[in-house]
Structures are given as structure tokens and as C-alpha cells.
Structure 1
Amino acid sequence: MNMKFVLQKGKWVLAATGLAILSSFFFSYIKAYLSIGTGNAAHVNQKVELNLFYLVVPLLVAPIIEEWIFRKKLTDLFHKKLSRMEGILFANGIFAFVHLDWFFFSYFVNGCLYAMSYEKTKDLKVPIGAHILYNLFVFVVTSI
């Protein structure tokens, strides 16, 4: 693999992560304005306080499994009956729903950003990397 190819994929990881962070700030502002709780991040942080091993799931296991299921398998399944864009939108709607946060918009937008990085690079490691970096960012910011 040549260095130009690696740098291009690295740019997509950083772009998807940066945009996911920006969208999260936007939705966090809306949640605060509407007096909506922090949801999943607070729950994960409470578990990590009890046992650092709980950090492995949101930082490694979940991004790998979720990207494989929602960006690859589910999108491909929906694409058999719908357009690629519709498949991406439906898969990310489900991605947002399974996070069990009634304020699902940030999950939906972030999922679409990860899907965009996958569509542009055709490499599942790119959205996995972005998802890992994003989850790490959320953990650090919400732990302070």
C-alpha cells in the first residue's frame, strides 16, 4: 500500500471524526437547551469508574461490530431493494435507534458521516478508526 493511499484514508478518518465531533457539539447544545440528559455517555462513564475494562467495549469492540453491521452488511442488504443512499439512510436510522437514546439525531448524523467515509474509501477500517476516535473524544470530554 503506498503512502499517498494511506494519507488519503487518514484524511477521511480525521474528517469523519471532526465532523462527528462538530455535530455532537451542535446536538449537545440542543439537548442542553431542551434540558435533555446526557444519556449513553454518562452510563458508560459510570461503568468505567467501576472497572476500566468497560472502556474496551465502547472504544474497540462496539466500533468494529457496529461499522461492520451498519456500514457494510445492513447497508448492502437494504441496497438490494433500494438505492444506495436509501440503504445508507435506513441502516443509519436503525443504528441511531439501537443506541436507545430518544434523542437519536446525533447517532444518525454520525452514522451517515461514517457511511460517507466508507463509501469514499471502500475500506471499513476508515469508519472504524473514525468511530474509535470519536468515542475516545466523547469519553475524555465527558469524564472531565
Structure 2
Amino acid sequence: MKKALSHTAIVMTLVYILAQFLPVLIIVLAPQSYQTEALIYGNIFSFTAGAFVMLLLNRKSNIRNSITLSPSAPRSTVILWGILGIFMALAAQYAATLIEIFLLGLPMGSENTQQILLSIDKYPLYLIIVSIMAPIMEEFVFRKVIFGFFYDITGGVGAAVISSLLFAFMHFDSHILLYSTIGFVFSYLYVKTKNIATPIIAHVLMNTVVVLLNLFL
């Protein structure tokens, strides 16, 4: 049977793409002396709006696959695995970092992370995107839409590879293994509980912890 993307999946993907490019339009319209502010606050607006739209779409989602059609784990289990997911993701991140440094010869620091930290240091409100809005949007698109779409076609491992690689490439960073490994963890959490809230919780908390540690330690 031919498998097609649902209306919800298509709209979520378009919202994600629009959220990426809307700040560019805002920069074009902004005065030259306010380009940086236009980029920062444009991102805050577009990602916040995008996250809320996806949350609303998810309430009446017509995405149908083996995961969404399975009963969700109880709320307490979702929260528990969401919290455990932080430690799983951090451990995976640490292991991937060691491989990248000692086997692949990549530098320890991430240019993407450094740019984010600089933005937050100068514009604290930007933390909203990094800690909450971006994780919400990414989990809906890369886990619920992309991973869910391929889950019944390639199986869990194949779907995790495809969605995690796309997740890594969208960070525009050389640390592909690092982001892909984290993507695998979030894919596992989604399958484990059959609830997209689980990887969202883990992703939000992980990003928050990593940013705060980098800012204050």
C-alpha cells in the first residue's frame, strides 16, 4: 500500500521551513543599523509562533502509523522517561564527542553552540528558542513526522537513521555524529512511550541544562 504524508505532517513541515526563513525576510525589511536585533527577535517570533502552531496541529493530528495508532504510555511514565531521557541524551552526547575527537579528529567545541551562547549572553530572551521552542518544533518534525513516516517502511533503525541524519544536517554543524546520536535517543524515547511529549521533555530539559552549564560554569 502506498504511504503518503498526512495533511498534519505536511503543514508541520511547512511551518518548520517557514520559521527558518521568516527571519531572513524580517532582516531584509529592517533598517541596516538593526540587522542583528531583527535576526534575534525575528527568530524568537517565528520559532515561538511555529511551536504554538504545531502544538495546536497536534491536538487534531491525522498522522497515522504504528506509533500514533498504539496506546500512549501513562502520563507518569511519559514524564519519567522524559527526565531519564536527559541523562541518556547527555551520555550519548559525551560518547559521540569522544569518538569525534579521538577517531574523527574533530574539535571539541561546536561552532553552532558557541554562536547560540553568544546570542543568549547578549539577548537573554533568545534562551526561549534554544530551550523550548526549537526542541518542540524539531521533535514534531524529525520524530513525529519524519521518523513516524519511515517507521513502517524501513523499521525503527532505518527510520532513526534517516530522521537523525536530517536532524543533524539541519544544525549546519560539522558534528554530524553528535547530533545524529542524540536524534537516536529521542527516537527511542518516542517509540518507548508512543508519545511525542517524551522526547520533547527530554530535548527541552537537555538543551536547558547544556546552555546553563556553558553559561555559568
Q: TM-score, normalised by structure 2?
A: 0.59
Alpha-carbon distance in 2 for matches of 1:109, 1:28: 10
The answer on whether the counterparts of 1:71 and 1:91 sit within 8 Å (CA) in structure 2 is yes
Matched residue, 2:146? 74
Are residues 1:12 and 2:87 paired? Answer: no
Cα drift, residue 25 of structure 1: 2.3
Change in 2 beyond 3 A, CA 1:32/1:137: farther
- 1:100 is paired with a residue whose SS is coil
Question: For 1:83, what is the secondary structure of its paired residue?
Answer: helix
Aligned to 1:56: 128
The amino acid that maps onto 2:140 is W
Identical amino acids, percent of aligned pairs: 24
The CA distance in 2 between the partners of 1:63 and 1:35, in whole Å, is 25
* Number of the residue aligned with 1:98: 170
Q: Could you tell me which residue of structure 2 aligns to residue 26 of structure 1?
A: 95
Q: Are the counterparts in 2 of residues 63 and 128 from structure 1 also a CA contact under 8 Å?
A: yes
Contact 1:41 1:142 in 2 (8 A): no
CA offset digits 1:65-112 (Å, max 9, x no partner):
000000011123334643343122211111111111112111111111
Q: What is aligned with 2:189?
A: 117
* TM-score normalised by the chain length of structure 1: 0.87
- With over 3 angstroms needed to count, the CA separation of the structure-2 counterparts of 1:137 and 1:77, relative to structure 1, is same
Q: Which runs of 5+ in 2 are unaligned?
A: 1-72
CA contact (8 A) 2:89 2:182 kept: yes
State the distance in 2 between where 1:28 and 1:137 align.
Answer: 17
Instruction: Tell me which residue corresponds to 1:135.
Output: 207
Separation of aligned partners in 1, 2:112 and 2:118: 10
Q: Do 1:118 and 1:127's aligned partners in 2 also have CA atoms closer than 8 Å?
A: yes
Which amino acid letter does the alignment assign opposite residue 137 of structure 2? I
1:35-55 C-alpha deviation (Å, 9 max, x unpaired)? 613222211110011111111
- Contact residue 58 and residue 135 of structure 1 kept, 8 A: yes
Deviation (angstroms), 1:116 = 0.6
Q: Quote the Cα distance in structure 1 between the aligned partners of 2:98 and 2:157.
A: 28
Higher relative CO (Cα under 8 Å, sequence separation at least 6) belongs to 1
Partner of 1:82, secondary structure, is helix
Aligned length: 141
Contact 1:10 1:126 in 2 (8 A): yes
* Segments ≥4 residues shifted beyond 6 Å: none
Q: Which has the larger radius of gyration?
A: 2
Question: Per the alignment, do residues 141 and 104 of structure 1 end up closer, same or farther by CA in structure 2, a change over 3 Å counting?
Answer: same
How far, CA to CA, are the matches of 1:11 and 1:106 in structure 2? 24
| Aligned-partner residue type, residue 75 of structure 2 | V
